[in-house]
Structure 1
Amino acid sequence: MITVTSATFDEQVLNAPGPVLVDFWADWCPPCKMIAPILEQLDAELGDRLTIASLNGDENPDIASRYGVLGFPTLTLYKGGEVVHQMVGAKPKRHLLAALTPHL
């Protein structure tokens, strides 16, 4: 799992060679804390096919605003620099896998 900021977002997410799932989160967000271990598991299981990135939306509001992120957590999947899927709220692992697998 990587951490991205406004300074590194374009390079590490939009210009990435493969799909990147960005977790837009905030320190004050309980569902963000709930989903974090699930994202760690997915990173361990899918790391060869998917990069998982973490972006603090409060510290990088320009990126959150650019992609219309209005609530946390928001999980946005980028492929070839484009948004191909977006989910809002904490979801069980099986739901995340079902949503991500067609894009991998």
Structure 2
Amino acid sequence: MSTTVFRYFLLFSLIIVHGSSYAATAHEQEQLSLILQQLDIIERLATQATATSASEPGNRYRFDYPSLMQDIQRIRQGVQGYLSPSRAQPRDPTELVGDYRLDTPSVEPSP
């Protein structure tokens, strides 16, 4: 999967969750549960990709999997908090990272 797919999915998830300001109907609960399942799948794929990705010497950038995992957790917490609110809905000012490209440290040849 490309980073673009992850970004669009995360954006789509945020739009759905953020646009929900009313009590969850049965249909909405079902849709949000599906989003949680999809987040689980994306998280598993990202974990697998982390384990299999290797930083190649010529690459300037690498994908920032830890930031992606943190953003997935934040989205999951938002959906779960909406589905089972414990009190009045507080505003969460923390923003998602959104930029998952890291500079690969340059390898200098040893003398």
TM-score after normalising by structure 2: 0.30
Larger radius of gyration: 2
Q: Please identify which structure carries the higher strand content.
A: 1
